[in-house]
């Protein structure tokens, strides 16, 4: 049976307990709390402890979403794990989550790798599969262990990233349901892949002692290029998804951008003409958690009552690839 729309039943978030403040980083590298705040707006981030893995927080976020949705894990018939930092390259993070949640045998589970736009790409996939009747309860997780892939000697990148996970369940929408997903637009441009990359670890450059010594198994980024592309792309795709659905920025109650850093967030909002009091942020507390930033921000703003039933939410993200996306939902 097909559905006209899908809806997001509930959200769940999970973060490691370990807090890594700017003052902590200043003990490791040539930086300061003031320097980091001025350039990024970040005050602290979370870091997985030794022995903790991405799958641990992914499962915790999924369990929280299931509990809030009031459904059992056995109701899930597809797992989409949106991540750039799986526990292992094989098997997938999705498969690990499927096993640990105790889902029914045979339930498909796989990863979506589209950098920081991954969770929106997961929503687009889940929406299509639910509306065409292939699946009824799709678990979409954005989960990252980014602190395992940062160069702690590079103050321009190591200050940005944190670990965290956000999850939601996508299901068919009934009449008058809340949480309806209206649309998602997704784009890529591989010509600029080198401005944000993790060079080693794949078949082109396997991880070797030499690669590790040269920090090629860490995230490398051209900050100025990323800023320019990110601001332009997020503005354009946000306008695209609104125009496509006959809406304007004046209709938007909340703008929830990928929490890359505060400078990018503010630049995108300013160019869109979005008032600061309608821009959702939590980057100061968690840093850039890539695929997890939007779902964890949505969960936080819903939990404290800032996002309410009936409000129109505009989401947008940008990441390596290059890949960028925007989505609309009616809360």
Would you name the residues annotated as active-site residues? 116, 258, 288
The Cα-based distances of 69 to 72, 99, 170, 211, 252 in angstroms read: 9, 20, 10, 45, 25
> Strand runs (DSSP E) across 201-311, as ranges?
220-221, 254-257
What are phi and psi for residue 70, nearest 5 degrees?
75, 30
Q: How far apart are CA 275 and CA 269, in angstroms?
A: 7
What are phi and psi for residue 316, nearest 5 degrees?
-150, 150
Q: Tokens 């600061």 map to which residue?
A: 276
Contact in structure between 39 and 70 (CB atoms under 8 Å): no
Q: How far apart are CA 218 and CA 224, in angstroms?
A: 19
CB-based contacts of 174: which residues, under 8 Å, 6+ apart? none
Angle between the N-to-C axes of helices 262-272 and 33-40, in degrees from 0 to 180, rounded to the nearest 10: 30
């Amino acid at each position: 049976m097909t559905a006209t729309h899908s809806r997001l039943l509930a959200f769940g978030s999970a973060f490691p307990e370990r807090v890594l403040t700017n003052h902590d980083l200043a003990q490791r590298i040539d930086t300061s709390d003031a320097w980091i705040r001025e350039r990024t707006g970040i005050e602290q981030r979370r870091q997985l402890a030794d022995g903790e893995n991405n799958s641990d927080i992914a499962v915790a976020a999924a369990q929280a979403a299931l509990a809030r949705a009031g459904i059992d894990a056995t109701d899930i018939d597809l797992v989409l794990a949106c991540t750039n930092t799986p526990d292992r390259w094989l098997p997938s993070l999705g498969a690990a989550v499927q096993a640990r949640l105790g889902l029914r045998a045979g339930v498909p589970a796989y990863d979506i790798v589209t950098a920081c736009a991954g969770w929106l790409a997961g929503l687009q996939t889940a929406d299509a599969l639910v509306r065409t009747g292939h699946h009824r309860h799709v678990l979409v997780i954005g989960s990252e262990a980014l602190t395992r892939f940062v160069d702690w000697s590079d103050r321009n990148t190591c200050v940005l990233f944190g670990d965290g996970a956000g999850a939601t369940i996508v299901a068919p929408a009934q009449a008058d349901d809340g949480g309806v997903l209206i649309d998602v637009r997704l784009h890529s441009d591989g010509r600029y892949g080198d401005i944000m990359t993790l060079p080693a670890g794949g078949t082109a450059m396997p991880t070797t002692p030499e690669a590790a010594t040269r920090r090629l198994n860490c995230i490398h980024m051209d900050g100025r290029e990323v800023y320019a592309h990110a601001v332009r792309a997020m503005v354009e795709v946000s306008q695209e998804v609104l125009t496509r659905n006959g809406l304007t920025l004046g209709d938007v109650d909340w703008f929830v951008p990928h929490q890359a850093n505060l400078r990018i967030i503010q630049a995108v909002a300013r160019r869109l003409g979005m008032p600061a009091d309608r821009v959702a942020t939590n980057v100061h507390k968690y840093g850039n958690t890539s695929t997890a930033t939007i779902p964890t921000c949505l969960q936080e703003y819903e939990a404290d009552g800032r996002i309410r039933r009936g409000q129109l939410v505009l989401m947008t993200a940008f990441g390596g690839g290059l890949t960028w996306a925007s989505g609309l939902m009616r809360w």
